Structure 1
Amino acid sequence: MQERQAACRIQVTPLGEAYVTAAKALAADLGLPLALDDPEFALQVGSAGVQLQQLGADAPGPVWVDFLQGGAAHRRQFGGGSGQMIAKAAGLQPGVRPHVLDATAGLGQDAFVLATLGCRMDLIERQPIIAQLLRDGLERARSDAEVAAIVARMTLHHGNAIELMRSWQGDTPQVVYLDPMFPHREKSALVKKEMRLFRPLVGDDLDAPALLEAALALATHRVTVKRPRKAPPIEGPVPSFTLEGKSSRYDIYARKSLKP
């Protein structure tokens, strides 16, 4: 996601006196106010950590990152293991757990699935508020012995993914995974409250072709791009092959085989 400190009006709100100090520190770190006239969003700090709440009469509930409960926990326990389509798309197979860079990390759900399956994960998120939500979720997950071993395989980087990939430092990832925000206008694409919040916050990834170009230049073995099932491929090279599901598909740009 593009690094845009959104034009949206966002304030940081402590959920009780006990969280005022933490809220002030977070506001200073992100360059956000503690109070606004007519704010659109509140980045709330409370007992559950950091959460983003859209304000207004028709706003959905808050969004936060939770790797310990809810959907992440259910998928970790019952998600189908390495038989999941995302695992196949990332090249997992018996004896193969590649080093993967998720260059459009968002709330980290896909990266957490791959880390659960044993992949070493680097994550890039360039929207500062979303990066903070993800950082907070990773920190809280370290309190659980079982999940701590999973998130220990996840390293978060905040910055512009294109720039970071072009000047990548450290071990080169075997696989780069991309899930750019698609400029889809149908209401059905906005059902999830995460998408309803993120659209005004980050907009669409109009630089997806440059993102793909940088990924192809960096990955040693493959680039995997998640797309809506009926969406066109990202402008650029033709995918080597695709894996298609009910609502989404994976375009795979293969460079060489992943082997044990």
Structure 2
Amino acid sequence: MSEPQLSTRVRVEPLDPIFADMARAWAERLGLPLQGEADFALQVGAAGLQLVELVEHGPGPVRVDFVEGAAAHRRLHGGGSGQMIAKAVGVQPGVRPRVLDATAGLGRDAFVLATLGCPVALIERQPLVAALLEDGLRRAAADAEVAPIVARMQLHGADAIELMQAWAGEPPQVIYLDPMFPHRDKSAQVKKEMRLFRPLVGADVDAPALLAAALALATHRVVVKRPRKAPAVEGVKPAYALEGKSSRYDIYPKKSLKPGD
């Protein structure tokens, strides 16, 4: 995702005075003010961090929750290894590839893959989004059922292209990309998150460079998630695609995934 837009003002605020020290720590870490005029607020409360737009009749706060809500429903009833994302990254009997999600966002897709048993490294370069994700992972680690899943998830707050180009250690077998795109999805949840994040993250104008870096690093394949009717990312053409009702997974294979790899 792109860097925050300079015109967007964000402050940190506690939802209760008992969270004042925690709010101050986040403000110092992110270089944000604790008061003053702002377009958005990163709020600290009993339920962790949440980001909210400070407008009348706004879309409501966004937070990361891997324990309850949609994440829990998909974990319990999402279809397991039959899900399209599982097929896209190469999950099969005896194969749980090491995945790098280089555009982690709120971590939903990475959590699905970790639920299926894949070790997943996550990169998120927008500091506010990375903070929400870090907080969600921390809270999930305290839940007995979800802790073993998030233990397979390792978050990096960094620029994905730079980190991939300077990758140290064993390279990922699969790199998963979901670049920001002008979504036309009409669901309330997507509209809320897009309204919140669009001013903060912009569009992924460097998606071609992101794809090139991923292709240079991944040992087995690169997967790019796109809206179903969107063009492929500029550059190398995908070998094939898996298409669903609203999304499409463009596959760039390099080597077959086999048990024991």
Which category describes the TM-score, using the shorter chain as reference length?
over 0.9
Aligned to 2:129: 130
Aligned to 1:100: 99
Q: 1:57 offset after TM fit, Å?
A: 1.2
- Work out the number of aligned pairs and report it: 258
Cα RMSD, aligned residues only = 1.3
- Alpha carbons of 1:146 and 1:93: their partners in 2 closer, same or farther (altered >3 Å)? same
TM-score by length of 2: 0.96
Letter in 1 for 2:211: L
Indicate if the aligned counterparts of 1:107 and 1:134 stay in contact, CA closer than 8 A. yes
Structure 2: runs of 5+ lacking an equivalent = none
**Partner Cα distance (2:54, 2:87) in 1:** 39
User: Is the aligned partner of 1:121 residue 2:123?
Assistant: no
Aligned to 1:85: 84
**Partner Cα distance (1:11, 1:206) in 2:** 27
Percentage identity across aligned positions? Answer: 69
Indicate if the aligned counterparts of 2:27 and 2:34 stay in contact, CA closer than 8 A. yes
Aligned to 2:249: 250
Displaced runs of 4 or more, over 4 A: none
Question: CA offsets per residue over residues 147-206 of structure 1, 9 Å max, x none?
Answer: 00000000000111000000011220000000000145x574884311111111100000
Indicate if the aligned counterparts of 2:140 and 2:147 stay in contact, CA closer than 8 A. yes
The secondary structure found in structure 2 opposite 1:110 is helix
**Partner Cα distance (2:44, 2:185) in 1:** 30
Letter in 1 for 2:178: D
1:5-16 matched pairs, under 5 angstroms: 6-16=6-16
Q: 1:58 offset after TM fit, Å?
A: 3.0
**Partner Cα distance (2:74, 2:180) in 1:** 23
1:20-99 matched pairs, under 5 angstroms: 20-37=20-37, 39-99=38-98
Aligned to 2:168: 169
The secondary structure found in structure 1 opposite 2:210 is helix
Aligned to 2:230: 231
The secondary structure found in structure 2 opposite 1:72 is helix
**Partner Cα distance (1:14, 1:163) in 2:** 34
**Partner Cα distance (1:141, 1:229) in 2:** 31
User: Is the aligned partner of 1:159 residue 2:162?
Assistant: no
- Alpha carbons of 1:231 and 1:250: their partners in 2 closer, same or farther (altered >3 Å)? same
Letter in 2 for 1:160: D
**Partner Cα distance (2:136, 2:187) in 1:** 25
**Partner Cα distance (2:187, 2:205) in 1:** 17
TM-score by length of 1: 0.96
